[in-house]
Amino acid sequence: MHEWALAEAVIEAAVEDARKEGMTRIREITVRIGELQQIELDPFTFALDEIIKLHGELLQHAQVKLEDEPAIFKCRVCSTEWHYQKASLNEAEGEAIHFAPEVAHAYMRCPRCKSPDFEVLQGRGVTIQRITGLK
């Protein structure tokens, strides 16, 4: 299960960070989810809750806050940056990119110079934005 594995990775990383910081209890973990990340939010939050329950004292009563990370692209030719939403795609193309960010290059062009040579600056993956807790 993709969502479960992701949730496990997030919690493990959070626990490791909290230990490094010398926290004795985690209060809140803020997780950013990239717009291009293929993830079902319901099973993901369910998995997070279940995994938190399995952990001991460190994670007792810990809350997970989810934030969206918008996708941003940058043209390698003219350095223009643009957002995913602003790219003119039809619905099917948008879906294709959502499920496989790699195909973005097949559908999208730089809005300024029309080059297909661009990079994804952000909006992929799941990252821990911050952890708050007690020391």
Enumerate binding residues for Zn ion (CB under 5 A).
75, 77-78, 80, 110, 112-113, 115
Of the pair 30, 80, the CB lying nearest Zn ion is at 80
CB of 114 to Zn ion, least distance (A): 7
Q: Are 26 and 133 in contact (CB under 8 A)?
A: yes
CB of 109 to Zn ion, least distance (A): 8
- Helix pair angle (2-20, 41-54), 10° resolution: 50
Backbone angles phi, psi at 124, to 5 degrees: -115, 145
Cα pseudo-dihedral 126, 127, 129, 132, rounded to 10: 100
Q: Are 126 and 10 in contact (CB under 8 A)?
A: yes
Q: CA-CA distance, 128 to 14, in Å (whole number)? A: 7
Maximum Cα–Cα distance for the chain, whole Å?
Answer: 55
Of the pair 41, 77, the CB lying nearest Zn ion is at 77
**What does the chain come to in residues?**
135
Of the pair 77, 134, the CB lying nearest Zn ion is at 77
Of the pair 76, 130, the CB lying nearest Zn ion is at 76
CB of 112 to Zn ion, least distance (A): 5
CB of 92 to Zn ion, least distance (A): 24
